[in-house]
């Protein structure tokens, strides 16, 4: 009887622990959210969000086009309809979608149609590919408020459209700035944006930065 009781207690403990672990996993899974932004060259956008507290992963890729599995060369032609984007996986308990949008609008020019500085073409358009009606609502509200406040000299032209598909860019594009800090484009274009982010959003930096 005593042995049976011990076995039963062990089984109960195992069930309880398994339940707690499963519950914790489910809660963590619910806390993970995804955002997809196009803010010009994805090397810049990725480098900024990779340093943001609460962001778990940033992947460079392509969205918004009509060609399956496009290559970088095809996207650069402007014929596929894709934008260079980053897909951000973040902890919604640490950073909000509004926080991500705040950084998005502060670290690129959302008023120039199909271009960012010297990068010209539809692939460099400013875009928010929303994953839910809530993301759409928040993006549109923030854009309307920024335009109302006259935050920029000209109106925001950022595209707000439903997310469809994301195609991960070639491996050499991933963590490009971190792996190629001395590349001329990185020094002249990416680095200033990263410095701007660090200066404006010091409270949102990961401790490792």
Show which residues are catalytic. 41
Go through 1-22 and write b for each residue having 16 or more CB atoms within 10 A of its CB, e for each that does not.
eeeeeeeeeeeeeeeeeeeeee
Dihedral pair phi/psi, residue 67, rounded to 5°: -115, 130
3-state DSSP call for residue 119?
Answer: strand
The contacts of residue 121 (CB under 8 Å, 6+ apart) are 76, 78, 114, 115
Q: At what angle do helices 97-106 and 133-149 cross, to 10 degrees?
A: 40
Do 74 and 67 touch, CB atoms closer than 8 A?
yes
> What are the residues whose beta carbons fall under 8 Å from the beta carbon of 174, sequence distance 6 or more?
46, 59, 60
Separation CA 26–CA 186 (nearest Å): 39
* Cβ atoms < 10 Å from Cβ of 82: 25
């Amino acid at each position: 009887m005593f042995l049976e009781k011990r076995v039963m207690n062990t089984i109960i403990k195992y069930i309880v622990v398994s339940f707690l672990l499963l519950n914790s996993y489910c809660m963590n899974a619910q806390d993970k959210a995804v955002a997809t932004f196009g803010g010009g060259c994805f090397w810049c956008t990725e480098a900024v969000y990779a340093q943001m507290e609460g962001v778990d992963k940033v992947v460079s890729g392509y969205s918004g086009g009509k060609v399956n599995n496009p290559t970088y060369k095809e996207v650069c032609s402007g014929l596929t309809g894709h934008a260079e984007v980053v897909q951000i996986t973040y902890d919604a308990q640490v950073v909000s979608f509004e926080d991500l949008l705040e950084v998005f609008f502060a670290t690129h020019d959302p008023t120039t149609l199909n271009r960012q500085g010297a990068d010209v073409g539809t692939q460099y358009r400013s875009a928010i590919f929303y994953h839910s009606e809530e993301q759409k609502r928040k993006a549109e509200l923030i854009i309307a408020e920024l335009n109302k406040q006259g935050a920029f000299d000209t109106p925001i032209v950022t595209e707000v459209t439903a997310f469809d598909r994301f195609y991960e860019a070639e491996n050499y594009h991933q963590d490009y700035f971190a792996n190629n800090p001395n590349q001329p484009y990185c020094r002249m274009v990416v680095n200033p944006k990263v410095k701007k982010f660090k200066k404006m959003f010091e409270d949102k930096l990961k401790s490792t930065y």
